[in-house]
């Protein structure tokens, strides 16, 4: 089943977005500006797009697997979450990055990717004094024999 997403391009210099049929359900996003960063510098990099997501959905934005190797940048919030209310005429998507080395990013460089996810349903917490599952030994102990 397909979902229609209304997209606005803030730049005519970047390639239009398109899914990679049969290979991935993540869609690449590109820098819409030339950026030069020194090691330790922070910057919001413009991605040149804004979207009206379907109701009940959000976009998860993460670096591509090659982003650190190619550009030496990390996404400072690890994962960006863009909800369906971020859809105004000036709501351009951006990627917050920290340069770990001196680097240059050019217009159209693929620096991150996104996918559309259904929002979490409403949750009601029911308090208890004991959980019924097997005690695995605490955080960080998975796989320790």
Per-position pLDDT tens, the chain of length 145 = 677 899 999 999 999 998 776 677 899 999 999 999 999 999 999 999 999 999 999 999 999 999 999 999 999 988 999 999 999 999 999 999 999 999 999 999 999 999 999 998 999 999 999 988 888 777 777 655 5
Report if residue 143 sits inside a domain. no
Report if residue 65 sits inside a domain. yes
- Residue 122 is predicted with a pLDDT of 92
DSSP single-letter state for residue 133: S
- Residue 135 is predicted with a pLDDT of 81
Among all residues, which ones are annotated catalytic? 83
- Residue 11 is predicted with a pLDDT of 96
Report if residue 139 sits inside a domain. no
Residue-range definition of the domain harbouring residue 62: 6-118
Structure-token match 């670096």, residue found = 63
Query: Would you say 98 and 42 are in contact if contact means Cβ atoms under 8 Å apart?
Result: yes
Structure-token match 């959000």, residue found = 58
Report if residue 69 sits inside a domain. yes
- Domain at 109, CATH number: 2.70.40.10
CA 110, CA 14: separation in Å to the nearest integer? Answer: 10
CA 9, CA 73: separation in Å to the nearest integer? Answer: 24
Report if residue 138 sits inside a domain. no
CA 99, CA 36: separation in Å to the nearest integer? Answer: 10
Report if residue 128 sits inside a domain. no
- Residue 134 is predicted with a pLDDT of 82
Query: pTM for the complete prediction?
Result: 0.84
Report if residue 35 sits inside a domain. yes
- Residue 99 is predicted with a pLDDT of 98
- Residue 21 is predicted with a pLDDT of 67
The tally of domains found in the chain comes to: 1
Query: Would you say 29 and 47 are in contact if contact means Cβ atoms under 8 Å apart?
Result: yes
- Residue 143 is predicted with a pLDDT of 58
Report if residue 133 sits inside a domain. no
């Amino acid at each position: 089943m397909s979902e229609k997403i209304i997209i606005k391009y803030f730049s005519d210099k970047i390639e239009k977005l398109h899914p990679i049929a049969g290979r991935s359900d993540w869609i690449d996003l590109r820098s819409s500006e030339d950026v030069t960063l020194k090691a330790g510098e922070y910057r919001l990099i413009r991605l040149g797009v804004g979207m009206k997501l379907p109701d009940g959905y959000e976009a998860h934005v993460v670096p591509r697997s090659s982003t650190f190797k190619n550009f030496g940048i990390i996404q400072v919030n690890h994962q960006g979450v863009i909800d369906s209310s971020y859809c105004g005429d000036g709501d351009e998507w951006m990627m917050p990055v920290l340069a770990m080395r001196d680097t240059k990013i050019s217009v159209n460089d693929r620096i991150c990717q996104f996918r559309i996810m259904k929002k979490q349903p409403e949750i009601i917490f029911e308090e208890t004094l004991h959980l019924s599952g097997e005690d695995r030994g605490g955080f960080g102990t998975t796989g320790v024999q």
